[in-house]
Amino acid sequence: MKKTIKSISGLEILDSRGNPTVRTYVELEDGTRATSSVPSGASTGQNEANELRDGDKRYGGKGVLKAVANVNGAIAKALIGKNAIDQKDIDYSMIELDGTENKSKLGANAILGVSMAVARAAAKSSNIPLYEYLGGTGAVRIPVPCMNILNGGEHADNSVDFQEFMLVPHGAQSFTEGLRYVAETFHVLKGILKKKGLATSVGDEGGFAPNCESNEAAIELIIEAIEKTGYKPGVDLSIAIDSAANSISPDLDNNYNLAWSGRGKMTTDELINLSEDWIKKYPIILWEDPLSEGDWDGFAAFTKRFGDKIEVVGDDIFVTNTKYISKGIEKGTANSALIKLNQIGTVTETIEAVRMCREAGWRYFLSHRSGETEDTFLADFAVAMDGGHLKTGSACRGERIAKYNRLLEIEHELKGRSEYRWK
Ligand code: PGA
Ligand code: ZN
């Protein structure tokens, strides 16, 4: 049955950092109403879809009233009367209407908001949960929660160069248990930091941001916390790292400067050798953006060296864009891509990026942004995409917990039918 779009409107709201972002409302002829809110990154790739911001006096230039006006105006006009079930038609109509390579005319924030709200309205009107609507009845695998527990780089004001250290509860039997493993360890880590006189304040994604003596000291604190909580490193819980190497690369190519820790300049080879030491010494299972987005050769060398042992994820280098992922597949740049809806700007194109990874035998890692809202679209989307793992922050900050709670709810709802495994 056709689910005709009756109205579309937008509203400027605030994200978890207090910066404006877009909320979208979609109403169907049958009376169904749905909303969505778009996230926003801080350590962004150069080739991400454009987030349209007003650039005037309001909110230090970060207002999104132009994007909201585009939702209310051009986008609404083009989509009213269309069938909400036809996600591809909806998304490609907006892409065409925008007409630019990076969605800079209408704004990826305007386009993605509508894309997500339409999907949600169609699911609601069909009376099926969003994960099932997007993934089918086979969408029963709940992702392993890669919980961010220690922050550095652009996401914190401390002496750690690498942006995210995550806990991966691959040894748990279910999502519910896995989430418990990582949340318990998060609290134990807090106690350890307190005892050592280190700060327990948190970064943008809710991980702790202590001034550690070195990057290695940060990892050792995490291992201490895993053991103290009663889990076995490498068996119950392993570690994932997002270097977000763009932020330690002044030229976004093969020059690096580990300035936060004071370790100083490094070449690609030196950084890869350092990674090798860590991979030998610590239970590291996944490494995201170990090199900068311009360092394609360094990335390929890293993958050649460690790709059979760990998951090597490209974030800023691929920006959820099939144009760059296909280049990566051809060159052996990585063996996995980070997937962020707002890097590309529509639900359909995000699904296309996932499909490309799957067909190449790559993994894909679903992700939130450092600026988030209480919207839980990502939780349903991760189950729908069958990716097996996601990152959506630490065991604090409501906008992160909202996604974890939604996943608890989905696992509960699927009682007996849900699956949970790392591979
Ligand atoms: P961002 O960081 O959301 O600030 O871009 C997340 C990441 O680098 O994975
Ligand atoms: Zn990243």
For 242-300, how does the pLDDT look when each residue is reduced to its tens digit (9 = 90+)? 999 999 999 999 999 999 998 999 999 999 999 999 999 999 999 999 999 999 999 99
Question: pLDDT tens digits, residue range 214-242?
Answer: 899 999 999 999 999 999 999 999 999 99
Helix%, strand%, coil% for the chain, nearest 5: 40, 20, 40
**Is the model's pLDDT at 154 over the cut of 90?**
no
Task: List, in order, residues 6 or more apart from 347 with CB less than 8 Å away.
Answer: 87, 91, 112, 115, 116, 119, 134, 341, 381
Q: What is the CA radius of gyration of the chain?
A: 21
Distance CA 301, CA 332 (A): 9
What does pTM read for this prediction?
A: 0.97
Q: For residues 103 and 221, give the distance between their C-alpha atoms in angstroms, rounded to a whole number.
A: 42
Ligand 1 contacts CB of residue 215 (under 6 A):
no
Ligand 2 is an ion; residues with CB less than 5 A from it: 242, 244, 289, 315
pLDDT tens track for 320-330: 999 999 999 99
Q: Give the CA angle between residues 388, 207, 42 to the nearest 5°.
A: 85
CA of 81 to the centre of ligand 2 (A): 38
Which ligand has the nearest atom to the CA of 242?
2
Return the DSSP state at 267: E
Q: What is the pLDDT of residues 41-50, one digit of tens each?
A: 998 999 999 9
The residue nearest atom 1 of ligand 1, judged by CA position, is 41
Residues facing 14 on adjacent strands: 20
Distance CA 255, CA 252 (A): 7
340 is catalytic: yes
Chain-centroid distance of CA 319 in Å reads 11
Q: Backbone phi, then psi, for 240, in 5-degree steps?
A: -120, 145
- The verdict on whether 205 is a catalytic residue reads yes
